[in-house]
Structure 1
Amino acid sequence: MVSQAEPDGCTAPHAYLARAGHTLEGDGGCIADARHQALAFLDRARTEYDLPVSARARDLTRLVVSELVTNARKYAPGPVLMELRVTARAVEVVVWDSDPTVPAPQASGPDRIGQHGLEIVRAVTEGLFVEQEPVGKRITARIALSDASSDTARR
């Protein structure tokens, strides 16, 4: 189930080492641009703060960004805002859109095609939080930077 967020969805603002915000226009390239921005942000976190950003964290971040931005573009009119935040142990992907409807997992079934994005994001993240805003909603997904079961952490 999607958790309703405590005040800001995740971590206290002072705990963030870095933050970056992006406005994603509705053109066809905004999803690819969002993925590119997220990977560049993780690269900066790794080099500027010497954080252990694993290959798995990079892949999951790219997947989460793709799913959340795709859903925002598909179901909400207007712009999409993405914020990336990093702590010593996790990256948070925050996506805001103008639709106030809180997404809900769909019932599974053999005839169901598509609409698995929320399930995917929930399965690969440490936390998924949804906040209704005065206009729209904000979804925050938290992904661990290091993978204890993997020796592939990039330094």
Structure 2
Amino acid sequence: MGLAGQSEGRPLLMERPVSASAAFEGSAEIAAARGMARDFLQSLQAVHGLPVSKRAMGIVQLVVSELVTNARKYAPGPCLLTLEVSEGTVEVTVWDSSTTLPTILAPDPGRVGQHGLEIVMAVCRSFEMHREPVGKRIRTAVVLADDPGGDAAGQVV
């Protein structure tokens, strides 16, 4: 998987998508999913030379943890996690076997629990849910590098 050259301050462009996928079946594997995300991002830096901010490293692991936890909690069978680099972001996609889309509750600081998707939506550039012929797919995108001016990368407002 090669990289095109960098020219006059333009970012490196991927010749082919860089991605990783794995299936997870038990609740104990949520930590393994976070580890997969961490290893994937470290590989982006070490092997492919892409910048990954510390903030992005933490956010991607948080998003993976929340989405895989929900899949394990609410859907029977395995879930599939896919990480893919696209246009300066890492897309985190989780598929599970339940066709029921999650309910996203309004922010409520007095509510105990059920803030996971609320947090995911706040820290990601994009968030999508789709029913599939079998199950559902949730896809998010997290910006890999913070703005050189010091602003945290996140949702486009």
Tell whether 2:24 aligns with 1:24.
yes
Q: What is the CA distance between 1:17 and its match in structure 2?
A: 2.7
Q: TM-score, normalised by structure 1?
A: 0.81
Q: Deviations over 1:115-145 (max 9, x none)?
A: 1111000000000011110111000110000
Unaligned stretches of 5+ in structure 2?
1-13, 153-157
- After TM superposition, give the deviation of residue 15 of structure 1 in Å: 7.6
Query: How many residues matched?
Result: 137
Equivalence for 2:141: 142
Indicate the residue corresponding to 1:93 in structure 2.
92
Q: CA deviation at 1:71?
A: 0.6
- CA offsets 1:39-97 (integer angstroms, 9 cap, x no match): 10011111222101000000000100010001111111111110010124110110001
Q: Secondary structure at the match of 2:47?
A: helix
Q: Taking structure 2 as the reference length, what is the TM-score of the superposition?
A: 0.80
Indicate whether 1:45 and 2:44 are aligned. yes
Match of 1:82 in 2: 81
Q: Which has the higher contact order (CA 8 A, sep 6+)?
A: 1
Classify 1:123/1:110 alpha carbon distance in 2 versus 1 (closer, same or farther; 3 Å).
Answer: closer
Q: Measure the CA separation in 1 of the matches of 2:17 and 2:59.
A: 20
Q: Which runs of 5+ in 1 are unaligned?
A: 1-13
The CA RMSD measured in Å over matched residues stands at 2.0
The one-letter amino acid of 2:24's match is: L
What is the CA distance between 1:29 and its match in structure 2?
1.9
If each structure's strand is expressed as a fraction of its own residues, which one has the higher value? 1
How far has the Cα of 1:103 moved from its partner? 1.4
Q: Which moved more, 1:101-110 or 1:34-43?
A: 101-110
Q: Residues of 2 paired with 1:67 and 1:108: CA distance?
A: 16
How far has the Cα of 1:150 moved from its partner?
A: 6.1
Structure showing greater Rg: 2
Instruction: Note if contact 1:51-1:88 (Cα within 8 Å) is conserved in structure 2.
Output: no
